[in-house]
Amino acid sequence: MNYYAIRAIYTFEMARTLRTPLQSFASPVISTILYFIVFGSAIGHRMIPIDGVSYGVFIVPGLIMLTVMTQSVANASFGIYFPKFLGTIYEHLSAPISPFEIVTGYVGAAATKSAVVGLIILGVSFLFVPLEIAHPVLMMGLLCSTAFCFSLLGFILGLWARNFEQLSFVPTLIITPLVFLGGSFYSIDMLPSIWRDVSMLNPAMYLISGFRWAFFGNSDVSIQLSVVFIGFFIATFLGIIWWIFSTGYRLRS
Amino acid sequence: MTAIVEVRDLTKRYDGEKLALKNLSFKIAAGEIIALLGPNGAGKTSLISTICGLTTMSQGKVFVSGFDVQSDYRNARSLIGLVPQELMLEPFETVMGTVSLSRGLFGKAPNPSYIRGILERLSLWDKRDSPIRELSGGMKRRVLIAKALSHEPKILFLDEPTAGVDVDLRRDMWRLVKDLQRDGVTIVLTTHYIEEAEEIADRIAVIHDGQILLIEDKNLLMKRLGKKQLLVELADPIERLPKLLEDLGIKLHNEGRGLTYTYDMEVEQTGIPEILGALKSEGIRFNDVRTEQSSLEDIFIELIKDRSV
Ligand SMILES: Nc1ncnc2c1ncn2[C@@H]1O[C@H](COP(=O)(O)OP(=O)(O)OP(=O)(O)O)[C@@H](O)[C@H]1O
Ligand SMILES: [Mg+2]
């Protein structure tokens, strides 16, 4: 195991993040505050509480998940796509490192960054609404595994993308709709039954629901199911990455 | 010779289409400087890329210090430093940041004093905290070299290290290569500057159209394929060459104002004393006599020309 390589990639990526703190941390926080103002304060007062939770509080887990998921995909896809674009990937290809080490370094850094952004948003939420977390340890665990899971997805996207258009296409057309429609801002129970069934096919829904359970102790689907789904996604994404590296797909000509 | 690199029946076909390397087999000796010469598109970069793991190989095997570069890539690759042909660097990263990344990627614990030594040797120490986009092209080239040396490789591949580099820097580069050789590093470099190969290489490999036309000790090569020419500058121009001189293989040159005589470098009996004797007996007076030796460039052009026909 090449620990130094993992460490080198991780610190290199974190340095990139810290070089642009505004872009990395301030912009997701600002957009979250805007969501709070619009959905929490302006609209929220007119909403009836969901399962005994006021709407302003209800959207906190969804907001964190929304940001963590989109940030993870963006960070991880850019992290690996940029060296491909610049050609500096030559060094990784010629280094004595295994796919596992490359993935750990890049995905670890991307997941760290988006988990930190998620925690900052959580901190900001306390300023806006009275919040209590029913299962804090589980909440942290789900936050980190979601960040890891979506960073893996972003990493696959970055490996696959041949240009910047493809790189932004997938998040805009696939990830963002899935996350928005996965119940970030509403309970699935509020939907007509046909849309409720469709939502059951949305993978993001299981993650958001599980995260909400960690906050309030109840949610749309059972927490066990959510955990199983996260594990399933992580395993699938790892499998795809393993396949990409073992075939050299879009990496080695 | 102890081979540090052994290439066996290596074939590279890009995307099942372009055949870039055609069944190459050769060895590189530990501690030597070998220059790969060849025209654009000959396959030099493809060869280096396959050895270093940047591209997959279609057939064959490559061993570095006895380690198979495919099945034993960790051991093989940790011995290799690669300076690519293109200037590929992250523009916003600092010199120190990118060199430290390289050392880490190759599995070496940080060693600030070693890195400092390399940066100083390459006159980059003052620039260590500068972002790469602020450096000149020549400096970027040196950053790539620093990255390749950062993990103390046993064998260094330099793909056109002196392309777009001024004369001073080129001489510095040659000195560095010689120094590295003294430290025990094997060096493989590609170049279009034949004088460069002539200046620093121990062995020359000529690659053309995915094949190695020859691989030989530089001095032997120049002796074997090199030609010498005797040039005689006449005091008075002559119209026709006397039969005696013609029989010796002499040719008229420069509209009768000079004579030339070409001979192999290897031969013992050059025939020059006979020629001088004949000139005297024919009563031909001359002002100057000199000899010229063909350069590696002439040899190279001859080789490629023969192939293309
Ligand atoms: N990634 C690639 N995909 C397809 N063909 C390629 C690729 N890289 C190189 N080739 C082809 O392989 C052949 C050898 O190219 P290579 O870059 O190895 O030549 P070279 O000797 O390094 O040339 P130069 O002196 O111009 O750098 C060329 O015909 C080139 O077009
Ligand atoms: Mg080349």
Give me the residue spans of the domains in chain B: 3-223, 227-293
Q: What does the pLDDT read at residue B308?
A: 62
Whose atoms come closest to the Cα of B191: which ligand? 1
Report the candidate in A193, A185, A183 with the shortest Cα–Cα distance to residue A59: A185
Angle at A192 between CA A187 and CA A193, to 5 degrees: 95
pLDDT score of B309 more than 60: no
A88 touches chain B (CB under 8 A): yes
User: A253–B55: do the CB atoms touch at under 8 Å?
Assistant: yes
User: Which ligand has the nearest atom to the CA of B51?
Assistant: 1
The pLDDT value given to residue B304: 75
The pocket around ligand 1, CB under 6 angstroms, is made up of A 253; B 14, 18, 20, 38, 40-46, 85
Give the DSSP H/E element, type plus range, for residue B66: none
B270 band by pLDDT with thresholds 50, 70 and 90: confident
Q: What was the pLDDT predicted at B300?
A: 76
Q: What is the CA radius of gyration of chain A?
A: 19
CA distance A141 to chain B (A): 29
Q: Is it the case that residue A152 has pLDDT exceeding 90?
A: yes
Share of chain A above pLDDT 70, in %: 100
Which stretch of A69-73, B29-33, B226-230, B304-308 has the lowest confidence by average pLDDT? B304-308
| Ramachandran angles phi, psi of B60, nearest 5° | 100, -175
Local confidence band at A31 (pLDDT 50, 70, 90 cut-offs): confident
Contacts of B53 in chain A (CB under 8 A): 93-94, 252
Are the CB atoms for B30 and B2 separated by under 8 Å?
A: yes
Task: Return the higher-pLDDT residue of A32 and A103.
Answer: A103
User: Smallest CA–CA separation between A78 and chain B, in Å?
Assistant: 13
**Closest residue on chain A to B52 (Cα):** A94
Predicted pLDDT of residue B135: 95
Which residue's CA is the nearest one to ligand 1's atom 1? A253
pLDDT digits 0-9 by tens, B272-300: 888 888 888 888 888 998 888 777 777 77
pLDDT in tens, B135-185: 998 899 999 999 999 999 999 999 998 887 788 888 888 999 999 999 999
* B3-58 pLDDT tens trace: 999 999 999 999 878 899 999 999 999 999 999 998 889 999 999 999 999 999 99
B3-223 CATH pick, 3.40.50.170, 3.40.50.300, 2.60.40.1120, 1.10.287.130: 3.40.50.300
Checking if the pLDDT of A174 tops 80, the result is yes
- Report whether pLDDT(A60) > 70: yes
Question: What CA–CA distances, in Å, run from B145 to A85, A143, B200?
Answer: 21, 42, 17
Average pLDDT (B223-246) is: 84
Which chain A residue lies closest to B17 (C-alpha atoms)?
A253
Q: Do the Cβ atoms of B97 and A15 come within 8 Å? A: yes
Does pLDDT of B108 surpass 90?
Answer: yes
Distances B226 to A35, B98, B196, B213 between C-alpha atoms, Å: 79, 45, 17, 16
3-state secondary structure A55-103: HHHHHHHHHHHHHHHHHHHHHHHHHHHHHHHHCCHHHHHHCCCCHHHHH
- From the alpha carbon of B210, which atom of ligand 1 is closest? 14
- Which ligand neighbours the alpha carbon of B192 most closely? 1
Q: How many CB atoms lie within 10 A of CB B66?
A: 12
Percent of chain B at pLDDT > 70 equals 97
Query: A66: CA distance to ligand 2 center in Å?
Result: 46
Instruction: Tell me the chain B residues in contact with residue A92 when contact means C-beta distances shorter than 8 Å.
Output: 105
Task: Tally Cβ neighbours within 10 Å of residue B255.
Answer: 8
Fold for the domain defined by B227-293: Alpha-Beta Plaits (3.30.70)
Determine which residue's CA is closest to atom 6 belonging to ligand 1: B14
